[in-house]
Amino acid sequence: MGQKLVTGEQTQSSALLPFSGSVIKLLVHVTEKMWGCCPNHWKSFGSSCYLISTKENFWSTSEQNCVQMGAHLVVINTEAEQNFITQQLNESLSYFLGLSDPQGNGKWQWVDDTPFSQNVRFWHPHEPNLPEERCVSIVYWNPSKWGWNDVFCDSKHNSICEMKKIYL
């Protein structure tokens, strides 16, 4: 009798464990899908929200404006993210990214300290072209279409802010 009881308990617990695990994963997944949201007028992509500003400003002023809203100038993490963003942009304007070379020595830095990956660089041909141009804008040029150009930080451009989605 005692042996049968032990066998029964083991069967029960091993059958329940994987089931409980998948229920928990499912709930987390649904919660992310349902409750990740962006402020009014911000565009949603992946786990981020984007605000396209058509107010031209210097790079540092543009970054400060993003920070005041709990965001940063946009950090391009993937080609898919850049493709989503460029769909929202005006081909006759240029927009600051959260990328700069503060010392002018080619050490490009993202504002959130994301490593400057070899795989995520979308410079236009022959850019970056000047050590004095220490900030980066995204601009539409033919024939390469949307790409990055280093520009003077105290030139005025539009800008793109990015913030993480708000999870409620």
Is residue 117 at the binding interface for Ca ion, with CB under 5 A as the rule? Answer: no
CA neighbours closer than 13 Å in the CB half-sphere of residue 12: 6
* Residue 162 near residue 71, CB atoms below 8 Å: yes
Instruction: Tell the smallest beta-carbon distance from residue 12 to Ca ion (Å).
Output: 46
Phi, psi of 70 (to 5 degrees): 80, 25
Cα→Cα distances 49→6, 37, 38, 79, Å: 54, 8, 6, 16
Is residue 82 at the binding interface for Ca ion, with CB under 5 A as the rule? Answer: no
Phi, psi of 103 (to 5 degrees): -90, -10
Is residue 57 at the binding interface for Ca ion, with CB under 5 A as the rule? Answer: no
Task: For Ca ion, give the closer residue by CB, 77 or 86.
Answer: 77
- Interactions with Ca ion, residue window 141-160 (CB under 5 A): 149-150
Pairwise CA distance, residues 153 & 19, whole Å:
55
Number of residues that bind Ca ion (CB under 5 A): 7
Is residue 100 at the binding interface for Ca ion, with CB under 5 A as the rule? Answer: no
What's the one-letter identity of residue 146? W
Stretch that binds Ca ion, among 23-31, 58-66, 129-137, 152-160 (CB under 5 A): 129-137
Is residue 77 at the binding interface for Ca ion, with CB under 5 A as the rule? Answer: yes
Instruction: Tell the smallest beta-carbon distance from residue 152 to Ca ion (Å).
Output: 9
Is residue 75 at the binding interface for Ca ion, with CB under 5 A as the rule? Answer: yes
- Nearest of 130, 150, 152 to residue 139 by alpha carbon: 150
Instruction: Tell the smallest beta-carbon distance from residue 128 to Ca ion (Å).
Output: 6
Is residue 101 at the binding interface for Ca ion, with CB under 5 A as the rule? Answer: no
Which residues sit at the interface with Ca ion, rule CB under 5 A?
Answer: 75, 77, 127, 129, 133, 149-150
